[in-house]
Structure 1
Amino acid sequence: MSSHLELPRTDTVRHPRRYLLEPLRPVARWILRRRYDVVVHGAERVPASGPVVFAANHTGVIDGPLLAIFAPRPVHALTKIEMFSGRLGTFLLHAGQVPLDRFQTDVAAVRSCLRVLREGRAIGIFPEGRRGSGELERFHRGAAYFALAAGATVVPVSFFGTREPGAPSGSLPPRGARLDVVVGQPVGVPAQAWPRTREQVEVTSRSLWEHMRAELDAARRLTGRDLPGPLPPGDLERDPATGVVRLPEAPDTGAP
């Protein structure tokens, strides 16, 4: 495809593996629904074809699996590289997830995601970077970059119930808990030819951030639910402070 010849080129990049991505989703849904009451709202909003960036808030460890399993389209999600060890890492790779080194410019991860988008498929990203309150108080610029580079549609996703108030970041909801997955209104981002400037990415990031915060509020009204609040003291994972848009009243606390 000619789009793979655009900069950064992806014609020699291997597409993430897919053979476990689609066949396992129905089975995984059945398994999760035996433990939790999972309700997906607004699935019909997702475009049936074309490049899509699912951008979600992040409160609990189960958010990633929920996005991969319940998103209306199969998702290649950016996943921190620390998860790719042992049998879990092997499974994630074969299920099409993309390892990301968050503490340096990960060219391989960027090009893998662009390969996916340029083939009209979907990626998943958590713009907050790390688990926290889920209030979108910080916003990495990756979603904007991918959308600009591929001319993709960004679809906000809001999770409710994936972590109990006061519970640690690695905890799971209690058995039988209601988990709401709310798909927000998509927003199309026109492709921006190379070279894309920092200012263009910044402006698009702020626009997407405002849209996602508005959709998060709409999801609250729809479900009648709220987020679990901040993590317990000392439980906030280290996360790079670079490439982040933040509210003035939300200083970075990414230092170890």
Structure 2
Amino acid sequence: MTEKDKPRRSPGQEIKPEHIKRWGPTWSRRVGQFLAHGVWNTEIIGAQHVPSTGRVLLAANHTGIIDGPLLHGCIPRGSHFIIKEEAFQGWTGPLMRNAGQIPVDRGTGRAALQTALALLNEDRVVGVFPEGTRGRGDVSSAKAGIAWLAVRAKAPVQPVAILGTRLPGQKRSHIPGFRAKLAVVFGEPFHAAPDDAATGRAAVQAAADRVQAEMSRHVEAAIALTGLDLPDSAQ
């Protein structure tokens, strides 16, 4: 089999820590800030809870198509998000790579997790949508990847509720109109697993259960605080 005949590996399968542009969030965060405050009317609550230094594993609910760039601009530090590898194909590919984001192969996700772990070990902010895809945003379930990172990196988990990007009756592809009211609510960081916890499967499952429970409670509290509700369903 020639090199030409070999199946091409996807961006998520090939990603390594050295591929991530550490300077990417410097410019891309400014784009997110413009979207949050120039295009939409975004209220940011609790940003003071984000540690100014050190590793942080940021976990957000996910309902709308704009959640990623919006949140990227609302975090008071530069951040690297784990994002579906489809966003790294076509014309958006160079933008995502130069923004310092992490493509994930949703088949295994191993390479993305190892890359995210390396960034956390550099005391950076790594963002994850634990639900795995756009849904209702109530965090009724959470993927194991964020728990694995929390256990391996011993990083505090920062819960974030994103509200208003998709309201009841709106489709998953909805993009909020100009000056739409949105809210990004940061909670207080918590440790999903004790510092001396083991790193095996049981520890990861326990961490996943805590992440899901804490995030679900945080989203409910954010809804009560802002008056912005979640969509009717995951559709």
TM-score, normalised by the number of residues in structure 1: 0.80
Specify which of 171, 194, 203 is matched with residue 200 of structure 1.
Answer: 203
Tell me if structure 1 keeps the 8 A contact 2:161–2:184.
yes
Q: Provide the rounded CA distance (Å) in 2 between the counterparts of 1:15 and 1:153.
A: 25
Specify which of 179, 182, 187 is matched with residue 179 of structure 1.
Answer: 182
Where does residue 220 of structure 2 map in the other structure?
217
Residue 119 in structure 1 maps to residue 122 in structure 2: yes
Where does residue 237 of structure 1 map in the other structure?
none
SS in 1 for 2:202: helix
Where does residue 151 of structure 2 map in the other structure?
148
Identify unmatched segments of 5+ residues in structure 2.
Answer: 1-15
- Alpha-carbon displacement from aligned partner over 1:160-186 (angstroms, at most 9, x marks no partner): 100132222122012221110000121
Q: Considering only aligned residues, what root-mean-square deviation do their CA atoms show, in Å?
A: 1.8
Residue 72 in structure 1 maps to residue 55 in structure 2: no
- Which amino acid in structure 2 is aligned with residue 110 of structure 1? L
Specify which of 25, 43, 61 is matched with residue 65 of structure 2.
Answer: 61
1:1-256 alignment to 2 at 5 Å? 13-14=17-18, 16-103=20-107, 105-188=108-191, 189-191=193-195, 196-232=199-235
SS in 1 for 2:30: helix
Q: Provide the rounded CA distance (Å) in 2 between the counterparts of 1:106 and 1:133.
A: 23
Tell me if structure 2 keeps the 8 A contact 1:150–1:191.
no
Tell me if structure 1 keeps the 8 A contact 2:35–2:70.
no
Identify unmatched segments of 5+ residues in structure 1.
Answer: 1-11, 233-256
Larger relative helix fraction: 2
- Which amino acid in structure 2 is aligned with residue 182 of structure 1? V
Q: Following TM superposition, by how much is the alpha carbon of 1:31 offset from its aligned partner in structure 2, in angstroms?
A: 4.3
SS in 1 for 2:148: helix
Q: Following TM superposition, by how much is the alpha carbon of 1:198 offset from its aligned partner in structure 2, in angstroms?
A: 1.1
Tell me if structure 1 keeps the 8 A contact 2:130–2:145.
yes
Q: Following TM superposition, by how much is the alpha carbon of 1:199 offset from its aligned partner in structure 2, in angstroms?
A: 1.0
- Which amino acid in structure 1 is aligned with residue 119 of structure 2? V
- Which amino acid in structure 1 is aligned with residue 204 of structure 2? V
SS in 2 for 1:59: coil
Q: Following TM superposition, by how much is the alpha carbon of 1:15 offset from its aligned partner in structure 2, in angstroms?
A: 5.7
State, as a whole percentage, how many aligned pairs show the same letter.
38
Q: Provide the rounded CA distance (Å) in 2 between the counterparts of 1:31 and 1:144.
A: 30
TM-score, normalised by the number of residues in structure 2: 0.87
